[in-house]
Amino acid sequence: MMFIDSANLDEIREGFSLGLLKGVTTNPSILLKEGKRRGVIVKEILDNSEGIVFVQATGSSYEEIYADCQEILAYGNKRIALKIPANIPGFQVINRLKNQNNAPIILATAIFSVDQSLLCGLAGCDYIAPYVNRMANNNINPYEVVNKTRKIYDDRGFSTKILAASFKNTNQVVDIFTAGAHTATVSSDVLRSMASKELASASISGFNRDWYELQSRLEFVKE
């Protein structure tokens, strides 16, 4: 199962209607599109989804990121998990949170390299989010990064899961799973592209047309 990367309620409802999703991922850029306070949007997402809802903590210092994590956790819903940047202040926050009782689920975000992934595994992160398309756009092979990361995690028995993010097309999603990602979060557009293929639609339309013709013919056939 996968996640949907969105804060739009219509997109989230449509995605969950497919029965394929295990949660929602968000970030400040996604929230900005909805033009509402973060707490309001998060509550609406919780009311219209199932599973984990990842909310990203912001800030440029340890103190700022930690304080924002506390604000997010104060929303008080056990389905809420944290996205924390994989940089020095982010790792400091992760270390503090993971050493507390009832540590929250943490997704280390903005992953662009294997060494970042290794540190996330050592830090005890529950998930990491390698940015597939952004890596590709910067001449970094995302599939090599994910493949090496998965080998490190498997060889050392890390429980950290690879939750790949940042996709431009469906081929990238398929290729990142082939490379070893445990799961992925995709936009509504990419999810629709995966679930609706022109050739499949044409075949289904043909079957439906023939079915209706058969029913029409049978109206004149006596039992």
Indicate which residues carry an active-site annotation. 83
- Alpha carbon of residue 200 to chain centroid: 26
Contact 15, 194 (CB under 8 A): no
**DSSP for 138-197, written as a single string:** TT--HHHHHHHHHHHHHHHT---EEEEB--SSHHHHHHHHHHT-SEEEE-HHHHHHHH--
- Whole-angstrom CA distances from 35 to 43, 56, 75, 80 are 14, 16, 19, 20
4 has which bridge partners? Answer: 24, 186
| Dist CA 56 CA 106 (whole Å) | 10
H-only helix segments in the chain: 9-17, 28-34, 38-47, 62-73, 88-98, 114-123, 132-137, 142-156, 170-179, 188-195, 198-218
| Dist CA 166 CA 185 (whole Å) | 8
186 has which bridge partners? Answer: 4
Neighbours of 189 (CB within 10 A): 14
